[in-house]
Amino acid sequence: MPRRPQPGPAIEERKFHAWLASHLRAGRSGLLPLGDDAAALRPPVGTVAVLTTDALVEGTHFLRDSPPDGIGYAAVAVSLSDLAAKGAVPAAVLLALILPPGTPCTWAAAVVRGAERASRRFGAGVVGGDTKPGPVRAVVGFGLGWGREGRLAPRSGASPGDLLAVTGTVGRGGWAAARWREGRARPRALAELLRVRPRIAEGRALVRWAHAMLDTSDGLAEAARLLASASRAKVVIDERSLPLPPGMARLARSVSARRTLTFYGGDYELLAAVAPADLEPAARAVARVGGTLTRVGSVGRGRGAWLVRDGREQTMPAAGWQPFRPARPRPG
């Protein structure tokens, strides 16, 4: 875990901008210099721009004692996860910091370092942004990626007969939140809540076959509802097929508790609808980039999201991340 900076002088906008200019390498490689009114990039031939934005707010997505480096990393990673769901290649990130007066400059600098670390890990970079005063700390990330027209896997593209598959595991966000609530290794658990893993490589591998794709930032149950609504189809998830994280059974011994953690949100995996004949080649492609792909359901005629539970089809439970309900710290 990165060393947490000690409180220092309060942030001053001009001095902080000067520090940014000396530290953000990606911002010096665009068509406009860092510090100009905007950033300018030249898109690769044959691509389209894919844009997304997300905000992390103190008290809702992170706590006061959350590591600022992790907050910055997560602020970028949640936007990159949206790019992954469209099979896009990350190109650049903008970052806006809303900070109460008196916020230590070291805190803001650590956020930027974390954001730059996430950006560079996935081949992009922080090319600009903004700072403003506000009542609570908030970090807003804006992601730009390059995608291929005709290969953007819209949520509305699922069709009856498609199979549903998910990358990675289901319930990682709930598992991390449960460990935090246990009160053991609290700093480590806080860091784990922010450890978003955008499936960029998996998204690029899957988009060739995916009729529809979205990330599971708000949980698999909510992703299934969104897919069903956009595609005007019936989405069925089989509970027995879900790939749960190791240790889930220990944290949630009862079936109801396990279901709560499973659909908590904060997984940041990809849910894709593919034709039955394409599931195996899609899984092989994901495996080649180091990921996993598990069949978890199907698309049929009808409407709504459904869960096969104990062999019976039931309406998908009202689970998943709801940002305007009382705070449960979790990124995105």
282 within 8 A of 207, measured Cβ to Cβ: no
Residues of the chain with CATH 3.90.650.10: 155-315
- Residues 24 and 35: their CA atoms lie apart, in Å, by 11
d(CA 268, CA 217): 5
Answer CATH for 13-147 from 3.40.50.2000, 3.30.479.10, 3.30.430.20, 3.30.1330.10: 3.30.1330.10
The alpha carbon dihedral of 119, 121, 124, 127 has a sign of positive
Q: Where in the chain is the domain with CATH 3.30.1330.10?
A: 13-147
Token digits of residue 209: 């076959």
Cβ atoms of residues 145 and 85 within 8 Å: no
Which CATH code of 3.40.50.850, 3.90.650.10, 3.40.50.2000, 3.30.470.20 fits the domain covering 155-315?
A: 3.90.650.10
List strands edge to edge, sheet with 234-238.
212-215, 270-274, 163-167, 293-300, 234-238, 304-309, 312-315
261-291 pLDDT, tens digit each? 888 888 999 999 999 999 999 999 999 999 9
Residue 161 has pLDDT above 90, yes or no: yes
Note the pTM of the prediction, 2 decimals: 0.87
Q: H or E segment at 224?
A: helix 220-231
Tens of pLDDT, residue by residue over 221-243, are 999 999 999 999 999 999 999 99
**Other Cβ atoms closer than 10 A to 181:** 12
